[in-house]
Structure 1
Amino acid sequence: MNTFFSADYVVPVTSKAVKNGIVEITDDGVIVGVYPPDHPNLLGRTINRKKGMIVPGFVNTHCHLELSHMAGVIPKHTGLIPFLQQVISMRTVNEDQIQKAMKAADRQLYNNGVVAVGDHVNTGISAAVKAHSNIHYHTFVEVLGFEPEAAAQILAAARETALLFKNTTSITAHAPYSVSKELFRLLNEEAVMSKMPLSVHNQESEEENRLFRYKAGQFLDFYRALGRDISGFKAQARNSLQTFMSYLSPEIPVLLVHNTFSSSKDIYFIERQGRNVSWCFCPNANLYIEGVIPKLRNFMTYPHKITLGTDSLASNDRLCLLSELKTLHKHFPELLFGETIKWATLNGAQFLGIAEKYGSLEVGKAPGLNLLTHSNGVGITPDTEVVRLI
C-alpha cells in the first residue's frame, strides 16, 4: 500500500516548492507523485502530515569513513600540515576499534538523512561496512606518491584495493602535494578507460600554493620529516590547481574538494578551459582545520556545479549535511535555500552518476525523504533538524 506524506512545503529540487504538498511513495520508496493539496488523487487517502519541509535524501560527496576512530582526537585550528601529521600518526590502531567507529559513523550518516556518499579510502578496511550499509557508496581509492619512479607500482596497488569493494569505485589522486605528475598522468589514463569520475583535495591550505609557486613553505619540512625525496619537483610559478589540472583530460568529471584557498584566477582558469568540474565544499571541516571557509561568491560567478561534503570525523563534529547547510547560510545569509538544497542533493547525485535514482523528488526515483523541522517557509533556521522519513 502506498504512503502519502505532506508538509508545509515539499521541495522537489527540480521544480518549485509545493506549499502544503503531498508526496506519494510505494513500499519500496519509489515516488509515484508530488501533488498540490487539492489534487484529485488524494480523495479518501490517509495523509501523514508533518510540520516543516520535505526534501530528498542528502548526497554527501566527500567523506573518509576509515578515519572515524579519530573523532574528537585532533585539536581544532591546527592548520592543514599539523593535521595531516596527526592523521598519519593515528591511522594504525586496533582494527576492531576502527570497524566499530566506522559502523557508528555509517549509522550517523543514515540517521542524518544521507542516502549516498562519495567516500575516500587508502585501504580496504571499510569494505565490509559498506557492503552491509543501507547507504549507496561510491568509493574513491586515493593514491599517494611524489616519487616519479614509483607511479606504476602505486597505481597497481590501488587497483588491488579497489577490487575489495563491491560498490562502484574510482582510483583517484589524494592531493596535488602528494601525487607526482607521472602518477597524475597514469590516473588520467585510468579514468579515461574506466569512465569513472575523479575526486581531488584542492587548495585546502595556502601552503599548497606556496609549494607549487615557489617550492617553499611548510610542505618542505613535512616531506623531510616523512623522509620523502622531492628533489625532482620544480617550482611551477603558478598555483597547484593550474598545475595539476593540465595533467588531466578536459572531459573527465573531476570533483575539486575544499577549495579554501582557490583564487578568482584559479576559478577563471577552470572556466576558460571548459573543464568538467564540480566544486565540493566542506565548510565545517575547513573551520575545524584552518578556521576559514572558501570565498563562496567567487565560485558562483560561473555555472560549474557545487556539491557538499562532511569530510571525516577527524575534522568535523558531525557527519550531517544539514549542519553544512546551516554553516553556509550563517556565513552567507544572501544564499537561497532553493539553490543550496541542490548542492546537498541533485548536484552530488549527478556527479556520482546516480541521479536516475537519487537527488530529487521525481516520479520513478527512490531518493529517500527527509523532513526538515523548524523551517521558515522554504528556508532553514538555526533550529532546523533533519528527520529521516524513509
Structure 2
Amino acid sequence: MTEAIRAARILTMNPQCPEIRDGGILVREGRILAVGGWREVAGNGACRDLGPVTIVPGLINAHVHLELSHLAGRVPGGRSFEAWADGLFAAMRESRVTEAAMARAVAEARASGTCYMADVVGREFDMVRRVLESQGVGGFLFNEFSGRAREFCPRSLPRDWSPGVHALYSTDHTLARSIKEWCASRCLPFSLHLAEVPGENELFQSGGGEFADFLRTRRILPKGFAAPGLSAARFARELGLLDERTLAVHCVHLDENDVEIVAASGARVCLCPRSNRQIGVGDAPVAALCAAGVPLCLGTDSLASVPSLDLWQELRAVRALMPSTASLFDLLELVTRNPARALGIDADYGSLAVGKRAVWAVLPDDMQ
C-alpha cells in the first residue's frame, strides 16, 4: 500500500532542499517514493496527517552498550571515573543482562525517535541483534576486543558488523593494529574509545599517574605495556588506527595538537556528553573539533552511565558546547547525516530522500 504522510514542516537534512513547509512524504513498503510540498504528494496514496509538527530523519545513536541495559540506576556516578568503573565492575559481576531489560531500553529509544543504533557488544551478539530486529530498529554491531596479543581470527557473524577495540589502555597494541587492518581491508567501520579518561594521556606519555595505577591494580593494562611517550591521539595515529572509517568515541582529553591530528586523519568523533559528565571525565573540546572540521556524531553510551537512551537529551547537552554560530541543521547532523556516513549506511538513513527508508522523528518544541 502507498501512504502519503503530511507534516507542517519537514527538515529533510538534504542541503539542496533542507526545509519544506506543509510537506508530504510518499511511502511504499517502507521506502520513500517522493518528498515535497503536500500538494505534490496528496492524492497518491492513503493520507496520514501528523498535524502541526516538524519531522526530521530518524535519529542514529552512534555509540551504545545495550549489554549494560540491566544496570540502569545501579552504578553511582558524580565522582571519579575510577569510582564509577569499580561500581560498574561490581554490578556486572552480580548479574547479566536479560532480553527483557534490553528490549525495554531499545523500545524507549525507539519511542524518542531513534531508528538505528551502533552497539558495542561482547558476548551477547545474538541477543542484541534479536532485540533490535524485534523492535524494528536498525543496527550496526561493533564486536569489541580487548586484552592480550593473539592472532586475530574473528568468527563469522550475520549482517552489519565489524570488530572494534575497547581502548588502547586495555588492548594489546599489536591486536589493535590487526583489527584495524582487518576492517580496512574490507572497507568496514572501526570503533575505539579514545582519550576518554583523565590520566589517559599521562599513561601513554610516561606510564605513570593515578589512572595507570588503577589499571595495573585491576589487571586491565596489557602485559608488557610500555609507554610510547605520546598522547593517546598521537599513539592511535602512529598505530594506523585513525582514518575516515574510524569512529573515535568520547575524545574528551584532546589538546590543540591532538585535535589537528584527528582532523587530518579524517576520523569521525562520537561525543557522549551526558555520560562523560556522569562518570566524571569532563567535556570534550566540541567547539575546537567543529572549528577543525571534524565530523561529529552523538551516542548515549549505556544505561550504566546515563538515565535514558534518548538522543534528544544528548543533543540538548551538546548544544551548550557547540559554537554559537551552529545552526539547527548543524546540530541535527550529529544524529543523522554524520553517523550515517560514518557507519556506511547513508544509502538508507541520514536524510529524508527518495529511495531511503521511511523513518523519521518529531522535533521537540524546544529544539526548533
Establish whether TM, by shorter chain, passes 0.5. yes
Moved more, 230-239 or 291-300: 230-239
Task: Determine what percentage of the aligned residue pairs are the same residue.
Answer: 25
CA distance in 2, matches of 1:91, 1:108: 22
Partner of 1:221: 213
Partner of 1:311: 301
Moved more, 350-359 or 74-83: 74-83
Moved more, 226-235 or 361-370: 226-235
CA contact (8 A) 2:268 2:296 kept: yes
Cα shift at 1:267? 1.1
Partner of 2:149: 151
**Aligned residue runs from structure 1 range 1-390, under 5 A:** 1-15=1-15, 16-37=17-38, 39-42=39-42, 46=47, 48-95=49-96, 98-124=98-124, 126-127=127-128, 128-145=130-147, 150-152=148-150, 155-156=152-153, 159-160=154-155, 163=156, 165-227=157-219, 232-248=224-240, 251=243, 253-272=245-264, 275-290=265-280, 292-332=282-322, 334=324, 335-375=326-366, 380=367
SS at match of 1:338: helix
CA contact (8 A) 1:207 1:217 kept: yes
Q: Given the superposition, is the C-alpha separation of residues 270 and 328 from structure 1 closer, same or farther in structure 2, using an over 3 Å criterion?
A: closer
Cα shift at 1:80? 2.1
CA contact (8 A) 1:131 1:167 kept: no
CA distance in 2, matches of 1:124, 1:279: 25
Cα shift at 1:333? 7.2
Question: CA RMSD for the aligned pairs?
Answer: 2.4
CA contact (8 A) 1:60 1:118 kept: yes
CA distance in 1, matches of 2:281, 2:235: 26
Moved more, 77-86 or 134-143: 77-86
- Superposed CA offset, 1:31-84 (max 9, x none): 1222235x4443698461422311010011100000111111111223222222
Moved more, 323-332 or 296-305: 323-332
Q: What 5-or-longer segments of structure 1 have no aligned partner? A: 382-390
Tell me the amino acid that sits aligned with residue 150 of structure 2.
A
- Superposed CA offset, 1:1-46 (max 9, x none): 4333333321010134434232223242321222235x44436984
Where has structure 1 moved over 6 Å in runs of 4 or more?
none
CA distance in 2, matches of 1:260, 1:324: 15
Cα shift at 1:231? 6.4
CA contact (8 A) 1:359 1:367 kept: no
- Superposed CA offset, 1:238-287 (max 9, x none): 21111022212665610011111111110112334xx2310111111111
Q: Given the superposition, is the C-alpha separation of residues 65 and 36 from structure 1 closer, same or farther in structure 2, using an over 3 Å criterion?
A: same
CA contact (8 A) 2:75 2:91 kept: no
CA distance in 2, matches of 1:229, 1:262: 21
Q: Given the superposition, is the C-alpha separation of residues 111 and 44 from structure 1 closer, same or farther in structure 2, using an over 3 Å criterion?
A: closer
- Superposed CA offset, 1:192-236 (max 9, x none): 333211111111112111111121112332233224575632233
Tell me the amino acid that sits aligned with residue 314 of structure 1.
A
SS at match of 1:55: strand
Q: Given the superposition, is the C-alpha separation of residues 78 and 194 from structure 1 closer, same or farther in structure 2, using an over 3 Å criterion?
A: farther
CA contact (8 A) 2:4 2:24 kept: yes
Tell me the amino acid that sits aligned with residue 313 of structure 1.
L
Q: Given the superposition, is the C-alpha separation of residues 21 and 29 from structure 1 closer, same or farther in structure 2, using an over 3 Å criterion?
A: farther
CA contact (8 A) 2:120 2:141 kept: yes
Moved more, 47-56 or 133-142: 47-56
CA distance in 2, matches of 1:314, 1:263: 28
Cα shift at 1:288? 1.1
CA contact (8 A) 2:286 2:321 kept: no
CA distance in 2, matches of 1:373, 1:224: 46
SS at match of 1:174: strand
CA distance in 2, matches of 1:92, 1:98: 14
CA contact (8 A) 2:252 2:284 kept: yes
SS at match of 2:109: helix
CA contact (8 A) 2:290 2:323 kept: no
Cα shift at 1:352? 1.0
CA contact (8 A) 1:77 1:291 kept: no
SS at match of 1:167: coil
CA distance in 1, matches of 2:244, 2:284: 24
SS at match of 2:149: helix
CA contact (8 A) 1:115 1:367 kept: no
Q: Given the superposition, is the C-alpha separation of residues 225 and 58 from structure 1 closer, same or farther in structure 2, using an over 3 Å criterion?
A: same
Cα shift at 1:347? 1.0
Cα shift at 1:167? 3.2
CA contact (8 A) 1:201 1:256 kept: yes
Tell me the amino acid that sits aligned with residue 300 of structure 1.
C
Tell me the amino acid that sits aligned with residue 208 of structure 2.
A
Tell me the amino acid that sits aligned with residue 213 of structure 2.
D
